[in-house]
Chains A and B, each alone.
Chain A
Amino acid sequence: MSDDLSSEPTAGLPPAMAGIVEDFQALPERERLQLLLEFSQGLRPLPAQYEGHLEKMERVDECQSPVFISVEVGEEQEHPVHLHVSAPAEAPTTRGFAGVLQEGLDGLPARDVLELPADVCFRLGLEQAVSPLRMRGMTGMLARVKRQVRVAVAA
C-alpha cells in the first residue's frame, strides 16, 4: 500500500485514474455531482455470464443498496484486471462510484490495482457534495476489488 500523504490528489495514481481525479478536481464542488451522474450512466452492462446470476458475484455490504462486483483477472503475464458491477438504477451515487472504479482500473495490471492508494475515492473531492457517510460504499468496493485480485493472482 502506498498511501501518499502529499497534497497532490493525483499522486501515486495510474494514468486513467489520475485523469478521472483531475476531471473531478477541475470542477466546482456542486458540478462534481453531475460528473458522478455521468459515470453512473456510463457503467457497462453486465457480461452475459452474470446476467441473472448475481450469486456468482460478491455483494458489497458497505453499500446501502444491493451492489455486486466481480473482478476478472486475465491469464496474461501482467494479469490485466476488469471490473464488473451490478448496481440498481435507484442508486445512482453508488453506480457513479462503480463507474469511476470500472473506468479507472480497466485493463490495469493486477499489481497496479493492488497498489492503488486506499484513499483514492476521497481524492475525487466529493465529500461535501455527497457527504462523508456516502463515501464509505466506494471505499468498501475498492477494498473488495483488491481482495478478489489478490485471491486471483495467488491462485
Chain B
Amino acid sequence: MSTLPLDPDSKLAAYAHPDKLVTTGWLAEHLGEPGLVVVESDEDVLLWDTGHVPGSVKVDWHTELNDPVTRDYVDGAGFAALMSRKGVSREDTVVIYGDKNNWWAAYALWVFTLFGHPDVRLLDGGRAKWVAEGREMTTEVTQRPAADYPVVERSDAGVRAFKEDVLAHLGGRLVDVRSPQEYTGERTHMPDYPEEGTVRGGHIPGADSVPWARAAAEDGTFRTREELEAIYQQEKGLAPGDDVIAYCRIGERSSHTWFVLQHLLGFEKVRNYDGSWTEWGNAVRVPIAKGPDKGSLR
C-alpha cells in the first residue's frame, strides 16, 4: 500500500524487495510531497540539528526508540505517541536516512518493522551521499502537525530473536557482524567503542563472521545484488531459505545486515538478536567459541 511511487532505479530493481530503498535522486524529486515523511536517525543525537534534509524529522534510537527503563523498545502506545509527535501517520511513506552507512537508519527501520509500519524505506547511501552530492540541507526545525497514529502492538516474533531463541537455534546459521577482533575474542568491544565491554570475548559457536560494513560500498550505498550474493551466498554458503540470526554488540550493526539479507537478498527468515554480545558475552553458562574458527557445539 505504498503511497508514493517506487524508485525505478535499475540497481534497486535487482534487489529482492526494491520497494525498501530509494535513491537520493528519487528523494530530491519527491521531497515535500504529501504522504512522504523523511526521518533522520543518527548515532550522534545532535547531528540532525547541525543540518538535515529539508522537512525531515529526527528520531533518536537511544532516547526515543528504546524504553528508558527496561532494555527493550517502546511499546505500541509509546510508538504511536512518538509517531504522532513526529507527524507520521500509518499511511505515510517513511524514508529513513542517517550517518555511518545508514547504520542507525537501518536500526530505526528495523524497529519500525516491529510495529509493522506498512511503507518504510531506506535512502541508499544515507546522509553522507546526500551531502556529498551537494543536495539541499537546512537547519530549519521542521514543524509537522501532530498525526493520528494507531496503537499497534509490537510484534517481535518474525524479525527479533531473544537469547532463548538463539540457544534453541544453536547448530543453525548465525551471522556475527562485528569486527574480526571481536569475533575471535581478542577484543570484548568494538574498536572505538570501549565503553560497551563484556565479561567474555568470542562468538556464538557456529556463527559466520561477516563484518556489517562489507555490505556497503565506498560511497555508503549498498553493494549491488550480485556483490552481496557473492559475500553471503557464495562465500558463506547461506541460502535464501535458511533460518538465519544476525547479531553484533547491541543489535544496531546487525540491523544493517538484517536489512541486507531480508530485503536486498530476499531471505525468508532472518531475525536480529538485539541482545547480541552485550547479553551473550555476559550471560552465565552459554557456549562461546574463541579464535577464528566458527567452532562447534560439544
| Residues of A near any B CB (own CB < 8 A) | 33-34, 36-37, 40, 61-66, 89-94, 96, 128-131, 133-134, 136, 140
Q: A34-B49, A62-B194, A136-B195 are in contact. Are A92 and B44 (CB under 8 A)?
A: yes
From residue 41 to 58 of chain B, which have CB atoms closer than 8 A to chain A? 43-47, 49-50
The 10 closest A-B pairs by CB, nearest first: A131-B62, A92-B46, A136-B195, A93-B46, A93-B44, A92-B50, A37-B49, A37-B46, A91-B44, A61-B194
Q: How far is the CA of A91 from the CA of B50 in the complex (A)?
A: 10
Chain B contacts for A62, CB-based, 8 A: 194-195
Q: How far is the CA of A63 from the CA of B192 in the complex (A)?
A: 7
Q: A128-B63, A131-B63 are in contact. Are A92 and B49 (CB under 8 A)?
A: yes
Chain A contacts for B62, CB-based, 8 A: 130-131, 133-134
Chain B contacts for A140, CB-based, 8 A: 195
Chain B residue, CB-CB nearest to A95: B46
Chain B residue, CB-CB nearest to A88: B44
Chain B contacts for A93, CB-based, 8 A: 44-46
| Residues of B near any A CB (own CB < 8 A) | 43-47, 49-50, 62-63, 68, 99, 192-196
Is chain A's interface secondary structure helix, strand, loop, or mixed overall? helix
Q: A62-B195, A64-B193, A90-B99 are in contact. Are A96 and B46 (CB under 8 A)?
A: yes
Additional A-B contacts beyond A33-B45, A64-B193, A128-B68 (12; CB < 8 A): A33-B49, A34-B49, A37-B49, A40-B46, A61-B192, A62-B195, A63-B192, A64-B43, A65-B44, A93-B45, A129-B63, A133-B195
Chain B contacts for A40, CB-based, 8 A: 46, 50
Q: How far is the CA of A129 from the CA of B63 in the complex (A)?
A: 7
Chain A contacts for B46, CB-based, 8 A: 33, 36-37, 40, 92-93, 96
Q: A129-B63, A131-B62 are in contact. Are A92 and B47 (CB under 8 A)?
A: yes
Chain B contacts for A89, CB-based, 8 A: 50
Q: In angstroms, how far is the closest chain B Cβ from the Cβ of A46?
A: 19
Q: How far is the CA of A21 from the CA of B193 in the complex (A)?
A: 27
Q: In angstroms, how far is the closest chain A Cβ from the Cβ of B231?
A: 26
| CB atoms of B50 and A37 under 8 A apart | yes
* Contact sample, A vs B, 6 pairs, CB 8 Å cutoff: A33-B46, A40-B50, A90-B44, A131-B45, A131-B62, A140-B195
Q: How far is the CA of A134 from the CA of B47 in the complex (A)?
A: 13
Chain A contacts for B193, CB-based, 8 A: 64
| CB atoms of B44 and A129 under 8 A apart | no
Q: A36-B46, A92-B44, A129-B45 are in contact. Are A64 and B192 (CB under 8 A)?
A: yes
Chain A residue, CB-CB nearest to B128: A90
Q: How far is the CA of A65 from the CA of B193 in the complex (A)?
A: 9
Q: In angstroms, how far is the closest chain B Cβ from the Cβ of A88?
A: 10
Q: In angstroms, how far is the closest chain A Cβ from the Cβ of B129?
A: 14
Chain A residue, CB-CB nearest to B63: A131
Q: How far is the CA of A140 from the CA of B195 in the complex (A)?
A: 10
Chain A contacts for B196, CB-based, 8 A: 133
Q: How far is the CA of A89 from the CA of B49 in the complex (A)?
A: 12
Q: In angstroms, how far is the closest chain B Cβ from the Cβ of A108?
A: 26
Q: In angstroms, how far is the closest chain A Cβ from the Cβ of B191?
A: 9
Interface centre among A61, A90, A91, A129 (most CB of B within 10 A): A90
Q: How far is the CA of A89 from the CA of B137 in the complex (A)?
A: 15
Interface centre among B43, B46, B63 (most CB of A within 10 A): B46
Chain B contacts for A129, CB-based, 8 A: 45, 63
Chain B residue, CB-CB nearest to A91: B44
| CB atoms of A130 and B45 under 8 A apart | yes
Q: How far is the CA of A61 from the CA of B193 in the complex (A)?
A: 7
Q: In angstroms, how far is the closest chain A Cβ from the Cβ of B225?
A: 29
Chain A contacts for B192, CB-based, 8 A: 61, 63-66
